């Protein structure tokens, strides 16, 4: 395991943030925010629905779901027509000939992730994560490893500017009985793993009998991607997707897993005896969204605009010494000129009325990084960023 040097502030906060288990740190993050309910929110945010209002209009479909479908149960992997629609959508995006048998619906990407780990982690399994990573995934990776006798290994990329892992860094970890998980695009950096690195990881996992879980919850490219993704067509690859970001349905808890049919059968059988069924109420609305080819390009266009606006504004802030220009989604990871830990900075900013996500929640403990969310109305975003800049420059 590659370790990070700890922040040098030497305070109780720094020592807490450096040593705390990610699960308690994540809860503490929410507790801190509760103390400051009037904070402006540049943190764990999602774009307001108003940004896409008319295009996301599906009132009739949701109503129909409530009236007609609510009395139903469905196949444990989800309704066949919805799985077919997802397989078509994924086939178009990747070039892989997916069918309904490759898909199962889950209650959000996070439940998909925990379900896959629950099914695959056994005594002695090595679960490998790559920093930075999403706090809820890392918490679940720890839960599953502890419960099932697995061993968790954390890899920190040498590249401290963009945190991109190289194949040489990850290769030694790919062994039999290994599950590697990564977020692609990465949350918080918004960068995709280069195709040559990802395809080599896939091939090596397949050769070694290891699994690769790719959490694609943030897969909302800011510019169109034309590369051939057929290299993902492997029995070792388990892809996890979410409707939370792409259709702003976080509250519905909807996601889906894409994998080979044997794995889907294992996962959906386990799901039936843990969660019962995925909810049916949004089935009709999902089909409507999937049939609208304009929605994804619109989300990309709006997100691109927000990110550009925010970057433009942030380059004027003296305290921002580095930023990672995202390729996807609506978050930006920023390095701040601040001699103490990101946890301490987070608390300072909250006390000044600004909520951001500290880098330590993503496992980044070297340097002071924060993640901000740009999914806001333009005037709100500008106002919030100016407030953030003022707060940072006054520290
Ligand atoms: C990498 C990653 N995984 C999972 C999730 C959560 O997805 P869901 O709401 O579908 O559980 C998010 C949400 O931000 C995410 O960024």
pLDDT per position as a tens digit, 178-235: 999 999 999 999 999 999 999 999 999 999 999 999 999 999 999 988 878 999 999 9
For a ligand 1 pocket test, name from 136, 331, 332 the mutation site with the most ligand atoms within 8 angstroms of its C-beta: 136
Tokens of 86: 């997802």
pLDDT value for 275: 86
With contact defined as beta carbons under 8 Å apart, do 228 and 194 qualify?
no
Q: Which atom of ligand 1 is nearest to the CA of 250?
A: 9
CATH class of residue range 59-291: alpha beta
Distance CA(173)–CA(212), nearest Å, equals 12
Question: Helix 378-393 and helix 342-351: axis angle, to 10°?
Answer: 110
Per DSSP bridges, beta strands 331-336 and 354-355 are unpaired
- Going by alpha carbons, the residue nearest to atom 15 of ligand 1 is 217
Q: Please compute Rg for the chain using Cα positions.
A: 21
State the distance from the centre of ligand 1 to the C-alpha of 134, rounded, in angstroms: 8
- Going by alpha carbons, the residue nearest to atom 2 of ligand 1 is 217
pLDDT value for 10: 61
Strand arrangement of the beta sheet that strand 331-336 belongs to: 320-324, 331-336, 369-373, 357-358
State the distance from the centre of ligand 1 to the C-alpha of 298, rounded, in angstroms: 20
Distance CA(304)–CA(132), nearest Å, equals 22
Q: Select from 395, 345, 388, 389 the least CA-distant residue to 367.
A: 345
DSSP string, 177-207: TEEEEEESS-TTT-PPPPHHHHHHHHHHHHH
Cα distances (Å, whole numbers) of residue 363 to 38, 68, 82, 101, 168: 27, 45, 36, 35, 21
The counts of H helices and E strands in the chain are 14, 13
Residues with a CB atom less than 6 Å from ligand 1:
108-110, 134, 137, 183, 187, 215, 217-218, 242, 244, 250, 255
Chain length of the chain: 395
Portion of the chain with pLDDT greater than 70, in percent: 96
pLDDT value for 1: 41
pLDDT value for 300: 93
Domain with CATH 3.90.1150.10 in the chain: 12-52+296-393
Q: Which atom of ligand 1 is nearest to the CA of 242?
A: 10
Domain with CATH 3.40.640.10 in the chain: 59-291
What CATH number should be reported for the domain whose range is 12-52+296-393?
3.90.1150.10
pLDDT value for 63: 79
Q: Which atom of ligand 1 is nearest to the CA of 133?
A: 1
Give burial (CB, 10 Å; 0-12/13-18/19+) of 31: exposed
Judge if the upstream peptide bond of residue 132 is cis by omega within 30 degrees of 0: yes
pLDDT value for 19: 81
Distance CA(42)–CA(131), nearest Å, equals 22
pLDDT value for 70: 60
Encode pLDDT of 313-352 as tens digits: 999 999 999 999 999 999 999 999 999 999 999 999 999 9
Cα distances (Å, whole numbers) of residue 154 to 28, 54, 138, 189: 22, 43, 9, 17
pLDDT value for 8: 52
Distance CA(298)–CA(295), nearest Å, equals 5
- Which residues in the chain show pLDDT less than 50? 1-3, 5-7
- Going by alpha carbons, the residue nearest to atom 12 of ligand 1 is 217
Mean pLDDT of the chain: 91
State the distance from the centre of ligand 1 to the C-alpha of 328, rounded, in angstroms: 14
**Distance from chain centroid for Cα 184:** 8
């Amino acid at each position: 395991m590659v370790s990070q040097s700890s922040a040098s502030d030497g305070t109780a906060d720094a020592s807490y943030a450096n040593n705390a288990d990610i699960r308690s740190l994540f809860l503490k993050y929410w507790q801190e925010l509760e103390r400051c309910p009037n904070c402006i929110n540049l943190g764990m945010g999602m774009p307001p629905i108003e940004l896409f209002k008319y295009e996301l209009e599906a009132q009739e479909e949701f109503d129909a779901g409530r009236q007609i479908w609510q009395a139903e149960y469905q196949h444990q992997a989800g309704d066949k027509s919805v799985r077919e629609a997802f397989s078509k959508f994924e086939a178009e995006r990747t070039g892989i000939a997916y069918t309904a048998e490759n898909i199962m619906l889950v209650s959000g990407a996070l439940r998909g992730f925990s379900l896959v780990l629950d099914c695959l982690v056994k005594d002695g399994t090595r679960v490998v994560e790559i920093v930075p990573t999403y706090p809820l995934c890392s918490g679940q990776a720890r839960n599953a490893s502890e419960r099932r006798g697995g061993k968790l290994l954390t890899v920190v990329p040498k590249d401290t500017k963009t945190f991109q892992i190289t194949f040489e860094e990850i290769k030694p970890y790919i062994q039999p009985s290994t599950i590697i998980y990564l977020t692609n695009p990465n949350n918080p950096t918004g960068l995709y793993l280069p195709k040559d690195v990802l395809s080599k990881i896939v091939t090596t996992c397949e050769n070694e009998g290891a699994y690769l879980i790719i959490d694609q919850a943030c897969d909302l490219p800011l510019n169109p991607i034309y590369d051939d993704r057929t290299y993902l067509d492997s029995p070792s690859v388990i892809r996890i997707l979410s409707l939370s970001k792409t259709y702003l349905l976080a509250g519905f808890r909807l996601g889906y897993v894409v994998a080979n049919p044997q794995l889907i059968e294992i996962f959906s059988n386990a799901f039936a005896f843990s969660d019962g069924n995925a909810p049916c109420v949004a089935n009709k609305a999902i089909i409507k969204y999937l049939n609208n080819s304009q929605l994804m390009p619109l989300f990309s266009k709006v997100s691109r605009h927000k990110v550009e606006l925010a970057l433009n504004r942030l380059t004027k802030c003296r305290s921002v010494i580095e930023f990672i220009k995202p390729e996807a989604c609506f978050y930006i990871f920023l390095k701040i000129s601040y001699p103490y830990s990101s946890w301490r900075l987070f608390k300072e900013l909250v006390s000044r009325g600004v909520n951001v996500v500290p880098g330590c929640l993503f496992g980044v403990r070297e340097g002071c990084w924060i993640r901000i969310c740009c999914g806001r109305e333009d005037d709100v975003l500008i106002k919030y960023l100016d407030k953030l800049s003022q707060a940072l420059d006054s520290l």
